[in-house]
Amino acid sequence: MPENAGSAHLTVVSRGSAHTYADYTQGFIYACEAEGKAATTIEGYSEALRRFSKAGRALEFPSEPSLITRQHVRRYLAYLREDGSSPRTINDRLKVIRVWFRWLRAEGLVDDDPTEGVKRMREESKILATVTPAQVQDLLKVCERAARKGGQAKRKAERDKALILLLYNTGLRASELVGLDLADVNFESLLVKVLHGKGRKQRTVWLGHVPRQALWRYVTHVRGQETGPLFPSKRGGRLLRTSVTQLLTKLALKTDWQDKKCHPHMFRRAFAVEFLRAGGDPFRLQMLLGHAKLDMTRLYSQALSMDDALSAHEKYGPADHLTPEAHRK
């Protein structure tokens, strides 16, 4: 739940009297909840608007949102820049303020949107960190060494191997992984139902033969056939996303990587990059990743090299696919 949502009192918002940021923010949060937005999204909105309100007091902005102007918004962005915020963070803050004021105008609570005409900061494009196929093999080797010890170490290694292969071959988010139940996996059809995707969207992904074998070993020899979370915690509940990150980090520390950083989203990015590298198209990738827009999917193409582009050109060059009859025309 967003901050203060549980104990908030009923606030009647109208144009007849002045209201504070808190009054308008509360109504906005209620609207987001009514629209079924994800809890993490709502929490992000609430936090960003709280920061805007706090900065507004420091910068002596009007306490009435309807009096906020474009100059105030630009001053806030400059304040963030002076405070050391990155262009991406500043753009994220602007996005939330823009969504908020559009809602306020749609509700008839303000006449103008002060974010109109305010441009985003230019962000430096950077390659998103992924795990390489060789690094995935390294992690699996760590699991295999642990399995040779037998006992509890082997049981844990079987789980870790299944988890790694599932992440790598499906591109699941960490939250989606820990949200899976055993019943969501169809070992016969090799399909996995993702029922708790971002924005409460559901989709189906391909499990794959190698991950199925690892998952079958884990379920058969370690987990058991009881209903419930696919990867339960020691207490029988669901693993936390932070627990998955900690698990992967511990495995990475046992490799000879120069950079030992390893987290679930690196596997999601790796899945996307390898999918594109193998000839998959961005539109199908968008569906498999559960992205609402193609913009995020395009970011993964940054990890592709000119060699990848040339290989694709060699494979898909149109002239080489002409029929012999076409050559003679």
107 & 164 share domain: no
Same domain membership, residue 108 and residue 144: no
**Residue 17 pLDDT:** 47
38 within a domain of the structure (yes/no): yes
Write the pLDDT tens digit of every residue in 125-151: 666 788 999 999 999 999 999 999 999
Per residue in 89-102, pLDDT (tens digit) is 999 999 999 999 99
SS3 category, 283: helix
154 and 234: one domain?
A: yes
Based on the fold, state whether residues 253 and 149 are members of the same structural domain. yes
CATH number, domain with residue 21: 1.10.150.130
pLDDT at 4: 42
> Are 66 and 142 in a shared domain?
no
When divided into structural domains, the chain yields a total of 2
Indicate if 156 and 280 belong to the same structural domain.
Answer: yes
Same-domain pairing of 279 and 147 = yes
Assigned domain for 325 exists = no
Long-range contacts, 249-254 (Cβ 8 Å, 24+): 251/139, 251/142, 251/143, 251/160, 251/164, 252/139, 254/142
Other C-beta atoms lying within 10 Å of the C-beta of residue 67:
12
Domain boundary residue among 106, 124, 142? 124
124, 146, 161 - which closes a domain: 124
For the chain, the first-to-last Cα distance in angstroms comes to 68
> What are the per-10-residue average pLDDT scores of the chain (329 residues)?
38 48 87 86 91 92 91 95 90 94 93 92 75 94 95 96 95 93 95 78 88 96 95 91 94 93 91 83 79 66 61 57 51
Residue 232 belongs to a domain: yes
One domain for residues 77 and 106: yes
Question: Which residues does residue 229 pair with via DSSP β-bridges, in sequence order?
Answer: 181
